[in-house]
Amino acid sequence: MSSLNVSEKLHIERVLGMSGGFVLDFTDATFGELYKSHGVNIHADRYQTYGTSKAKKMRGFWEKEPDDLVGRVLSELLDYYEAQCESGVIERDAVSLGKSRETVARLCGEPFNTNSTPDDGFLSKEFEIPNIQRLPVDFAVSEIIQNRVNEARSCLSNGAHLSVIFQCGSVLEAVLLGAAQNEPERFNRSSMSPKQNGKVKAFQNWKLSEFIDVAGDIGLINPDVQRFSHGLRDFRNYIHPYEQMASGFKPDEHTAKVCYQVLKAALADVAGDR
């Protein structure tokens, strides 16, 4: 069994585009060939613990095999990802790629340059929850948001890590929806606004990921908050038990603290405190 932790898996899955059950643009055949070169039959029953998609087989592989083998396979996958980035097929996620390379080095027992990055600085900063009344939401909603922020803080203190993640995700979505309703033209004019049949969707039909990207595009939230908010969104998706089971997601104190940190920074951005 590999020693991949939750944060490492998050970055790897973002790089490899695993949220929809796929792994980059591999077909079943090419996926099988890649693993075969490492002496692994990835389509064998032993790797179908969580299901039969390529992403779920990979998660099963992580659970069954040792660090060095997992590291070698991931290294080749990251090489392929970088080749696709260089050819313009996909856009590079430099942060998650760097974290994934660091993970591979650890799994393979190789040294890695651990110099601090801007993201380390973001996670080490202290952000204060702003006055909730300054957020662009209705008064009645602001009371609910305040209660949920308080509950998230309480859950963090009491070790209810999964509850922290869910509360933070729900508050972030409510605040960004409120911001959109407060400045509809600003949100709708963004090139990132989601469209259907050539028209911008009604706000109630936007996904959290779309609110995050538009908020980043129009400068409502800073780039670091935008990037880490997608991580919070990914974690929040594990509110569905089967998704949590399939990924093997087991939130710990660090994960909960990261999510709470992201929420504090996002609220400070929206309130104009940063």
What value, to the nearest 5°, has the Cα angle with vertex 112 and ends 109 and 117?
Answer: 145
Q: Please give the average per-residue pLDDT across 225-238, as a whole number.
A: 84
**What is the C-alpha separation between 270 and 144, in angstroms, rounded?**
17
Residues 206 and 255 in one domain: yes
Of the residues 64, 91, 114, the one at which a domain ends: 114
**What is the C-alpha separation between 64 and 223, in angstroms, rounded?**
37
Structural contact between residues 47 and 31, judged by C-beta atoms closer than 8 angstroms: no
Share of residues in the chain with pLDDT > 70 (%): 95
Q: Is the pLDDT of residue 257 over 80?
A: yes
Confidence at 119, pLDDT banded by 50, 70, 90: low
Q: Please give the average per-residue pLDDT across 203-215, as a whole number.
A: 94
Report if residue 165 sits inside a domain.
yes
- Please write down the HEC assignment for all residues of 51-113: CCCHHHHHHHHHHHCCHHHHHHHHHHHHHHHHHHHHCCCCCCCHHHHHHHHHHHHHHCCCCCC
The CA–CA distances, whole Å, from 24 to 11, 64, 89, 140, 168 equal: 14, 22, 11, 44, 29
**What is the C-alpha separation between 123 and 134, in angstroms, rounded?**
24
Report if residue 274 sits inside a domain.
no
Residues 189 and 92 in one domain: no
Report if residue 189 sits inside a domain.
yes
Residues 145 and 83 in one domain: no
Confidence at 7, pLDDT banded by 50, 70, 90: confident
Confidence at 238, pLDDT banded by 50, 70, 90: confident
Q: Please give the average per-residue pLDDT across 5-16, as a whole number.
A: 92
Tokens matching residue 179: 């911001």
Residues 110 and 138 in one domain: no
Residues 86 and 12 in one domain: yes
Residues 254 and 148 in one domain: yes
Q: Is the pLDDT of residue 120 over 70?
A: no
Residues 243 and 165 in one domain: yes
Of the residues 52, 81, 114, the one at which a domain ends: 114
Residues 98 and 229 in one domain: no
**What is the C-alpha separation between 59 and 145, in angstroms, rounded?**
35
H helix or E strand, kind and range, residue 200: strand 199-200
Q: Which residue has the tokens 């999510």?
A: 259
pTM of the entire structure? 0.62
Counted domains in the chain: 2
**What is the C-alpha separation between 174 and 144, in angstroms, rounded?**
10
Structural contact between residues 142 and 132, judged by C-beta atoms closer than 8 angstroms: yes
Q: What does pLDDT average to over the chain?
A: 90
Q: Please give the average per-residue pLDDT across 217-231, as a whole number.
A: 89
Q: Please give the average per-residue pLDDT across 135-154, as a whole number.
A: 95
Torsion (CA) 252, 258, 260, 266 in degrees, nearest 10: -160
Domain around 181: 121-269
The CA–CA distances, whole Å, from 131 to 146, 242, 264, 268 equal: 9, 37, 11, 9
- Please write down the HEC assignment for all residues of 28-57: HHHHHHHHHCCCCCCCCHHHCCCCCCHHHH
pLDDT of residue 19: 84
Of the residues 56, 88, 114, the one at which a domain ends: 114
Q: CA-based diameter of the chain, in Å?
A: 61
Q: Is the pLDDT of residue 113 over 60?
A: no
CATH of the domain at 241: 1.20.120
Report if residue 30 sits inside a domain.
yes
Residues 230 and 169 in one domain: yes
Residues 196 and 260 in one domain: yes
Tokens matching residue 163: 């509850």
Residues 125 and 253 in one domain: yes
Q: Which residue has the tokens 């405190």?
A: 273
Report if residue 252 sits inside a domain.
yes
Question: Partners of 195 in the beta sheet?
Answer: 200
Share of residues in the chain with pLDDT > 90 (%): 69
pLDDT digits (tens, 9 = 90+) for 170-197: 999 999 999 999 999 999 999 999 999 9
Question: Residue type at 179?
Answer: A
Q: Please give the average per-residue pLDDT across 218-237, as a whole number.
A: 87
Q: Please give the average per-residue pLDDT across 217-244, as a whole number.
A: 86
pLDDT digits (tens, 9 = 90+) for 77-97: 999 998 888 777 788 888 888
Q: Please give the average per-residue pLDDT across 132-137, as a whole number.
A: 93
Confidence at 245, pLDDT banded by 50, 70, 90: confident
Report if residue 87 sits inside a domain.
yes
Residues 181 and 62 in one domain: no
pLDDT of residue 178: 97
Q: Is the pLDDT of residue 273 over 90?
A: no
